[in-house]
Structure 1
Amino acid sequence: MLRYLAAALAATIAVPALANGPLTVESSMLTLQKRAAADGTTTVSLVRAAKAVPGDKVVMRLAYRNTGSAAIGNVVLSNPVPKGIAYRAPAAGSAAPELSVDGQTFGPLAALRVTTADGRQRAATTDDVTHVRWRIASPIAAGAQGQVSFEGLLK
């Protein structure tokens, strides 16, 4: 199951012409790892997913870096939500992505609608989300890096 999900995590990247330098993007799936400390407390950290089972919470992350010699502006990072993952929310510390239920129309979840099998319209839920997209607000300086991520649930 994990191999399938890792393969499904191919990011699609929409950026302007990169005459000023390349933008590299690495996608990864992370899980929460809990460890008991000697003092009885528990620490939680994100680690690359080595094993995941249905019901596990995961974090899908896109890490980007400008390896060129000039800033890159108007960057849009778009990623399909893998079929085995249900979108839940932006990850802690990440900007909220625009969402889509069809890969074409993006916006906040409250603005999205889904057509049911009987032709009726209903409000979209997190289970309907098929794509996420982030617009990087500021130009990415030469050598700069960052990341965006969302939380999901393994189906």
Structure 2
Amino acid sequence: MARTLITALLAAAAVVTPAAASQGPLQVASKIFVEQRALDKAGAVSTSLAPATRAVPGDHVVFVLAYRNTGAQPLSDIVLDNPVPGAITYRAPGAGSAAPELSVDGKTYGALAQLRVPTASGGSRAATSNDVRHIRWRIATVPAGGQGQLAFKAVLK
């Protein structure tokens, strides 16, 4: 089951919006890593990332989106949207990554503190990280030959 879940998570990885995709040769690759913790001889905990070939509920995972412009011209106004499967809880941007815009419905994006979730009574409540279903980054320009990566941390439910 864990292997099937990882395969499903990879299939749900980043999509480039049609406007960006029509601009040219933007390549996007998605990878998922599992955080592994170990004690060194001094008893200190160290954390490393390993490719996610197997994961179980409670594992901390990191989604990485690597992008590259293989063309001879710069690309502009790129939007990368990464769906967040229901089996994942968003936690934070990855180390060194720009903070993404978050969404609970795939339509309205912003900081988590700004998002609301409808309730059965017709009202709404403040969104939590468990409610996040899309993560989006906007990239103003990727120069010809330019590349970068974006990441976010999550927990497997």
Alignment TM-score, normalising by the size of structure 1: 0.88
The one-letter code matched in structure 2 to 1:17 is: S
* 1:77 equivalent in alignment to 2:93: no
Identity %: 53
Unmatched 5+ residue regions in structure 1? Answer: none
Q: What is the CA-CA distance between 1:116 and the residue it aligns to?
A: 1.2
| Aligned position for 1:17 | 22
- The C-alpha deviation readout for 1:44-73, integer Å capped at 9, x for no partner, is 322211221100110111111111111111
124-133 or 32-41, larger mean C-alpha shift: 32-41
Q: What is the CA-CA distance between 1:111 and the residue it aligns to?
A: 1.0
Give yes or no for contact 2:6–2:53 (8 Å, CA) kept in 1.
no
1:2-151 matched pairs, under 5 angstroms: 2-8=3-9, 9-14=12-17, 15=20, 17-18=22-23, 21-35=24-38, 43-137=46-140, 139-151=141-153
Give yes or no for contact 1:98–1:107 (8 Å, CA) kept in 2.
yes
103-112 or 5-14, larger mean C-alpha shift: 5-14
Q: Distance in 1 between matches of 2:8 and 2:145?
A: 28
Q: What is the CA-CA distance between 1:141 and the residue it aligns to?
A: 1.3
Alignment TM-score, normalising by the size of structure 2: 0.87
Q: Distance in 2 between matches of 1:47 and 1:128?
A: 26
Q: Distance in 2 between matches of 1:41 and 1:113?
A: 40
3-state SS of paired residue (2:117): strand
2-11 or 77-86, larger mean C-alpha shift: 2-11
3-state SS of paired residue (1:117): coil
**Count of aligned residue pairs for this structure pair:** 152
Give yes or no for contact 1:57–1:153 (8 Å, CA) kept in 2.
yes
